[in-house]
Amino acid sequence: MVGTGKRLFAAMALIAVLSAAACFSGCIGGAGGPEATPTPTPEATPAPTPVPALKGPASDEVAFMRVETGQAASALQSGEIDYYLTGLSPDVAAWLSTDPEIRLFLSPSAFHGIILNPAPGNGSGFNPFSIRDVRFAVQYLLDRQGISQSVFKGYAVPALVPIPESHPSYEVVRGAVQEFNISFDRAKAGELISRGMESAGAEKVGGRWVLDGKNVSINVIIPGERETAAAILESVSLELEREGFAVERAYYNRSQNSPVYYSDPGRLEWNVGAETWIYYRIGENLGAAFPTLPEKEGWWEYNSSELKLAEDRLDNYSSEAEWADANRMMARVGLNDSIGIWVACESSIFAARSDVAGLTEDRFLGLRAIANAREAYVPGSARLKIGSEETYVPGDSWNPYIVEHIYAMDIANTIKDPVFWSSPTTLETKPYRWNYSIAASDAAGSVAVPQDAFYWNASLEAWAPVAAGTTAKTKVSYDLSKYVGAKWHDGNAITWGDVIYTTAECWDSAVDPEKRSLGGENWDGYVKRIVAIKVSGNTLEMFTNDWGLSDEDTLYASGIYRRLMPWHLNAAIGKLVFEEKSMALQEYYVPEGSNVSPLNLANASHAEAVLAAMASLDYPKIAARTTLAGRNYASEAELAERIAQTGAWYRAHGHLVISDGAYYVDSYDSSDGTVRLKANRDPSYPFTRGEALPR
């Protein structure tokens, strides 16, 4: 969840002072007076040439450095790092709080919970959590207050929905949450478990639940490297054992594929797992949401008519009252089903050295506010050093479609300029790289879609004009004058071809069944809202069926541009992933029995495979995606030029992590995990220090 928020920077201004020369040679004194004595004319002082403001961010370089959490305090105090982007433990925070050279930043941005597998088993054995009463009982087995104190040392509060209580949206669902009167109550839990288990034919023998002569077993998957998640699951395991279940604990580390995410729930390889959501951006309206089962074609799916109705209502409301009612319904359904269960809202504890200037104090995101890496600097130093528990895991996905872990996501969000962001003070949605204007009907009305607008026709593999009489709920006009014509990090120009190709490829991968199974489903939620697009001058007109209470809701479909990439890079990735199937977007999408690797553009061998695919691209396929209204926005000659430029970039930097923002990835040092960024000072980059950041 991004999941997923200025700076104090004094810029010197040179004031041009014009010295006017006084000329007396033609001047006469008073009438009849003596002739004035000529005065020498001084040389005029030339006006100084204005110094343009420096393009890009405040610091010339940023180093994301791998620092274990146990070493974070000493690294901060010694000046090895300037701030730490992984949440600190309460004990470390208490120690650092006495150091005048360190500042702490708290934000309720992390929600911790568990997920229960409700699958009936399909011959794989009996699953007690296929019974709603048994799942719901777990709500009462969680000592949320005790966990908040013991696991998080008071830096957390109990949570039943993933909305900070300080956020305005919490008041919308507060009453619905309170209806359940959920608290730590072993007696209540025991009653629910007994009722559910006895209805399934089980009986308690010697304090253990038995069915068909066998102890009823529960398999708990514990992520050993995530201390807080492990502690929560250990607590749950002890309570389940107390209630008479045989609990088997399986410990997984980061390099292993947890069955919670990588196995068909119907095979019952797990019963209980952990879930953590971290916000990267928080808008004006937050909804109740709960951990859900992973989905893959052919896997067992949980079907609930009430859940589907709640989801549909949240997608199709027509007023603030309807949205609030739908949100309350979702809270009730989620709590009642008890598949995903929230436990605690953690106040993530970030720390920075006191001499770091330009930091934004975001009350919800902490140091993950988007402005910080862009605007933070250390006076007298050109380099900003950011510590993190990890920078990126070499075997994980890092590509324009999927950035797998939070550590790489922090870097990806630093090098990419988003379309819009939220104000850290008002939470209001604000334009970032693309300005926008919204022409929306009310929820029941419609906006006419002009016949020179186009939609992607997947069956024809081409852009096609909309039918006469086509309507949408909203027209959003995006002004790309600060985008198209600037440069990608590799020096290639950003063109309309990049925007149009990305739109076509996302649209196609979301509707093509085979591409969906290989990761295209990630774009489904955005694409299904788009009716048509039109390019007019510097403006992208997007007609959608989005409608909302805030700009963020209405701009939802623009999520397909969240990691917009150069069209030739996009085409090469598509060739490898969707055509040759020699790479996968993520381990999750690796076909059964295949040993292909998740695509990581920071991996040299993967980057070389992409370059090879680039050299063998079929240009007519590209042209089909970049030809709109009879105009082709990507020429074959441009393809050759782009490939050459990107190849030169790779030879200089050793990777293909290419984006468009204030920093670019200069290098990655595999020996110590440091990712080095450099400021994007290209004249085409539109922003100077402090510009365009949401206030």
Distance CA 324, CA 83 (A): 39
425 domain residue, yes or no:
no
The whole-number pLDDT of residue 29 equals 28
Residue 651 lies in a domain: yes
Give dist(CA 101, CA 89) in Å, integer. Answer: 19
State which amino acid sits at residue 556: Y
Which of these three, 330, 346, 362, is where a domain ends? 346
Residues 668, 655 share a domain: no
Residue 150 in domain: yes
Question: Does a structural domain hold residue 384?
Answer: yes
Q: What is the pLDDT of residue 124?
A: 67
Q: Does residue 116 sit in the same domain as residue 172?
A: yes
SS3 call for 438: strand
Burial of 324-343, coded b for 16+ CB within 10 Å and e otherwise, reads bbbbbbbbbbbbebbbbbbb
What confidence score (pLDDT) does residue 85 get?
93
Q: Are residues 391 and 512 in the same domain?
A: no
- The residues that bridge with 456 in the sheet, in sequence order, are 463
Q: Which of 323, 346, 369 is the last residue of a domain?
A: 346
pLDDT of 190 reads: 97
- Please tell me the total count of domains within the chain: 3
Residue 209 shares a structural domain with residue 340: yes
* End position of a domain, from candidates 292, 322, 346: 346
Whether residue 40 lies inside any domain: the answer is no
Query: Residue 67 in contact with residue 369, Cβ under 8 Å?
Result: no
Which tokens go with 362?
């975001």
- Same domain for 232 and 142, yes or no, is yes
Q: What are the Cα distances from residue 340, in Å, to 117, 169, 212, 337?
A: 9, 20, 29, 8
β partners of residue 276: 112
Pairwise CA distance, residues 691 & 433, whole Å: 10
Distances (CA, A) of 294 to 78, 126, 263, 291, 509: 43, 20, 8, 9, 19
Q: Specify whether the CB–CB gap between 406 and 513 falls below 8 A.
A: no
Query: Are 478 and 390 members of one domain?
Result: no
CB contact at 8 A, 650 and 611 = yes
CB 413 within 8 A of CB 683: no
Indicate the pairing of strand 429-431 with strand 420-422. Answer: antiparallel
CA dihedral 62, 65, 69, 74 (to 10 degrees): -80
Phi, psi of 406 (to 5 degrees): -60, -35
Domain assignment present for 48: no
| Confidence at residue 122, expressed as pLDDT on a 0 to 100 scale | 65
Cα 164 to Cα 2, 156, 287, 288, distances in angstroms: 14, 11, 11, 11
Answer yes or no: do 373 and 486 share one domain: no
Rounded mean pLDDT for each run of 10 residues along the chain, 695 residues in total:
25 22 27 33 45 82 95 96 93 92 92 96 83 98 96 94 94 96 97 97 95 95 89 97 97 86 93 92 89 89 93 86 95 97 95 94 86 94 96 85 88 94 86 92 83 96 96 96 98 98 96 93 92 97 91 92 94 97 92 89 95 97 96 97 98 96 93 94 92 62
Q: Bridge-partner residues for 362, per DSSP?
A: 366
What is the gyration radius of the CA atoms in the chain, in angstroms? 29
How far is it, in rounded angstroms, from Cα 247 to Cα 249?
A: 6
Maximum alpha-carbon separation in the chain = 132
| Structure confidence at residue 116 (pLDDT) | 98
What are the backbone angles phi and psi of residue 649, rounded to the nearest 5°? -60, -45
Residue 286 sits in the same domain as residue 162: yes
Co-location of 307 and 453 in the same domain:
no
Tell me the C-alpha to C-alpha distance, in Å, between residue 65 and each of 85, 426, 592, 659: 10, 32, 36, 20
**Do 234 and 325 have their domain in common?**
yes
- 375 and 391 co-located in one domain: yes
Q: Which structural domain, as residue segments, surrounds residue 541?
A: 433-660
512, with CB counted inside 10 A (0-12, 13-18, 19+), is middle
Domain assignment present for 267? yes
Supply the pLDDT for residue 549: 86
CA angle 607, 609, 611 (to 5 degrees): 70
- The partner residues of 669 in beta bridges, in order of sequence, read 674
Determine, yes or no, domain membership for 155.
Answer: yes
